[in-house]
Structure 1
Amino acid sequence: MMEAAVLLGSFLLLILIGMPVAYALGVSALIGAWWIDIPLDAVMIAISSGVNKFSLLAIPFFVLAGAIMAEGGMARRLVAFANVLVGFIRGGLSLVNILASTFFGAISGSSMADTASVGSVLIPEMSKKGYPRDFATAVTVAGSVQAILIPPSHNAVIYSLAAGGTVSIAALFMAGVLPGLLMGLTLAVLCLITAKRRGFPKGEVIPMRQALRICADALWGLMTMVIILGGILSGVFTATESASVAVLWAFFVTMFIYRDYQWREIPKLVHRTVKTLAIVMILIGFAASFGYIMTLMQIPLKITTFLTTLSDNRYVILGMINLLLLVLGTLMDMAPLILILTPILLPVVKLIGVDPVHFGMIMMVNLGIGLITPPVGGVLFVGSAVGKLPIEQVVKALTPFFFALLLVLVAVTYIPALSLWLPGLVLGS
């Protein structure tokens, strides 16, 4: 136990004194290696091995494709398309917000990009149409959690990596479809109830000719989803290859079809993407070394033994894991938690008969809720900045949405078919 205390204690101490999570992982891995007297070269090899994986190439390509579409006018077109479908209902703009997040999440795979892009279009529009600004911001923030689940999710790729590559990325992508749609539907029902209770306005029906033009305009961007999923499911592309093709398609649509983006802005876009990816890759490499030291110290085995001695009931253990993930999700960002906790918790859930793909969805929903929960909710901060409101006001408006998301979490946790039916049907897994 002393070994675990040194590794985990040094990590927590470094976090508390303000060291970035990625570097705290790397330094604590070195401290742990020194404590158990293994060569520090082994830590360096673990870092190198952690980032030397072909499947990791999917992350930069998906991020770049999402960034191109986000800054190239796709969000505005998706909002207009969603408005054609549901904008005429009472409280329709809130439904437009949820639906636009569904579409955009299927292109960007990023909740932060979703919040920034959709929110910059819809929060001012909803406010202008008579919706409370805090409600508009809360809808945007809560709706963006769908991007964590709906493919292509960057975090699904990270989970596959953290699971040692034993969980198929394609299976995880398919597993996220129904939970993501359930989340969108649950939030939409809440918005409808709120609209009726608070008397939100109805939108106008879009004339047929204009509606067809809007749909045709949005179709180019929506084809990105078809390329990503169609390529993977047909066997034409791997997940990584489909991501690279998605970048080419996003570039073509943005620069030659929509033509809203300036050529001179492309180097700046690539620079911002590379900066983001550098942080992610450093995190992945250092997390690999941290996981390596944990394995040598047999920490996952000890935690598995501890949890199974508390109860042998699958539902009780999953409930405890949910509570743990919800608490930790409020204190740390999603990617490092996936990288740290997957090697620890996956043996536990396997022992009680939970499918690793199903557990991946449980983890995604839990940590997705953490992204919109203070004090470290990154998406919450972005939404607050876009909505130009204090965080306290946004959190208060988010309260009913938290309960809705918790209902989705319970459903995903205790109804495995939500996560496993589609992968089994499409991939036979």
Structure 2
Amino acid sequence: MSIELISIIVLFISFFGLLAYGVPVAYAIGISTVITLLINIPFFPGITTVSQRMTIGIDSFALLAIPFFILAGELMNRGGIANRLVNFAKSAVGSLPGGLAYVNVLASMLFGAISGSAVAAASAIGSVMTDRMKDEGYPVPFSAAVNITSSTTGLLIPPSNVLIVYALASGGTASVAALFIAGYLPGFLVGLSLILVAAYIAFKKKIKRGDRVKLSQLWNDFRKSFFSLLMLVIIVGGIVQGIFTATEAAAIAIVYAGILGFAYKSIKVKDLPSILLDSAKTTAIVMFLICTSMAMSWLFSFESIPQLMTGFLLDTVSNPIAIFLLINLTLLVVGTFMDMTPAVLIFTPIFLPVVTQLGMDPVHFGIIMVLNLCIGLCTPPVGTILFVGAGVAKISVSEIIKPLIPFLLAMIATLILVTFIPSISLWLPKLFGL
């Protein structure tokens, strides 16, 4: 047995064993990386090498966008933006049968896109919508299922931290600007699929229509949410037009969100320390995950694991469609127990060489990977958004599983479309010359 094969076996057994034992993901990644490296390198040089790779892994200007967008998202979450977006969405589609479910999806898409955080969307929109939907006769588990699945759309619709992480993991083969613009159509398609499922369930359960809104009310709610929506245009438009980088856009987002929060009188000076502290805690968790994941990614290159996996897949499975389905299935399973950031950093170096050799564009694969992992966020045992949504709705996870299934099936159907119709992801980037 070759040393490379022994390393792969040790790496995956130690990693999954630590996860099964309940070790936090970041620590499991770091410990398994050290254990595997010590097969080839003495103890002290091995520890030093891993430490260096963790430091080098986050020594990137592009990664500064992540803490900036986290802080901007926290400012938006506290700044009264969620309520304004919900009111606008309710005026737009609330009068349709099952309209509040559409409001939840639309508001989550808008808020998630502006904040770049699925957790923020699930928390902010869920806390606003759950009681409203309950008061109008919607079953709470159904409302929670809508909130959980729709909150993930903000990870596809830019600005998205996970797309920035993928751009880093791809080694520069996929630019942040191209990924941002590529996420729009798949994100909207996921939202549409969720709305269709909600419409069918609303029709079947005979959920009543909401009150019809006058045009003047629609205009008034749009006017109140205009500056919140304008932020999305400024950030993404500036990146796509090359006016500023993603990192600079994130810094602009902080200033803009802060101004809105104070203008709406939802944020006071005394709130800033807690906002900064919460943002710092989230940033520390994310960056430590990135540190250890980048060390493991370097280990993959050191042990030639991507080349071995590419050769194995291409020699074992000759049909490209079967390979794409196998990769999707693997990522769906991975998403059920691993957070998105380490999953992207660990599995991009493994699967990207395979799909590019089969002719898939790296930008297209990035969208596929993120959509796969979005589904994982909604599923047990580790689905972050699943637990956030259950907490906001004040019900148990087991109560949500059954109503969640139709929405997950809709997301999987969208995933298949995005996988095998590249133009869904690539049409806009090509249109803008990215």
TM range (shorter): over 0.9
- Conserved 8 A contact 1:312-1:352: no
1:168 matched to 2:175? The reply is yes
1:297 matched to 2:303? The reply is yes
Partner of 2:269: 263
Shift of residue 10, structure 1, vs aligned partner: 1.8
Q: Which of residues 210, 214, 234 in structure 2 aligns to 1:207?
A: 214
Partner of 1:332: 338
1:79 matched to 2:83? The reply is no
1:27 matched to 2:34? The reply is no
Shift of residue 86, structure 1, vs aligned partner: 0.5
1:93-108 matches, cutoff 5 A: 93-108=100-115
Shift of residue 418, structure 1, vs aligned partner: 0.4
Shift of residue 270, structure 1, vs aligned partner: 0.7
Q: Which of residues 417, 423, 429 in structure 2 aligns to 1:423?
A: 429
CA distance in 2, matches of 1:210, 1:400: 33
1:150 matched to 2:154? The reply is no
Question: Deviations for 1:384-416, whole angstroms, at most 9, x for unmatched residues?
Answer: 000111101111110111111111010011000
- Conserved 8 A contact 1:50-1:285: yes
The residue type equivalent to 1:352 in the other structure is L
Aligned-residue identity in percent: 44
The residue type equivalent to 1:187 in the other structure is L
1:58 matched to 2:65? The reply is yes
Shift of residue 319, structure 1, vs aligned partner: 0.3
Question: Deviations for 1:34-61, whole angstroms, at most 9, x for unmatched residues?
Answer: 1112632222221111000000011111
Shift of residue 210, structure 1, vs aligned partner: 3.1
Partner of 1:401: 407
Partner of 2:374: 368
Q: Secondary structure at the match of 1:166?
A: coil
Question: Deviations for 1:82-113, whole angstroms, at most 9, x for unmatched residues?
Answer: 01111111111111111101111111111111
CA distance in 2, matches of 1:268, 1:25: 30
Q: Which of residues 280, 283, 295 in structure 1 aligns to 2:286?
A: 280
Q: Structure 1: state its 5+ residue gaps.
A: none
Shift of residue 310, structure 1, vs aligned partner: 2.0
Partner of 2:232: 225
1:318 matched to 2:324? The reply is yes
Root-mean-square deviation (Å): 1.2
The residue type equivalent to 1:414 in the other structure is F
Q: Secondary structure at the match of 2:38?
A: helix
CA distance in 2, matches of 1:96, 1:132: 15
The residue type equivalent to 2:246 in the other structure is A
More deviation, 205-214/4-13 = 205-214
Q: Secondary structure at the match of 2:223?
A: helix
More deviation, 157-166/246-255 = 157-166
- Conserved 8 A contact 2:91-2:217: no
CA distance in 1, matches of 2:148, 2:35: 38
TM-score (norm 2): 0.96
Partner of 2:56: 49
Question: Deviations for 1:169-209, whole angstroms, at most 9, x for unmatched residues?
Answer: 01000110000001111111111122111111111122333
CA distance in 2, matches of 1:8, 1:190: 38
Question: Deviations for 1:186-237, whole angstroms, at most 9, x for unmatched residues?
Answer: 1111111221111111111223333322211101111110111111122211
Shift of residue 5, structure 1, vs aligned partner: 1.3
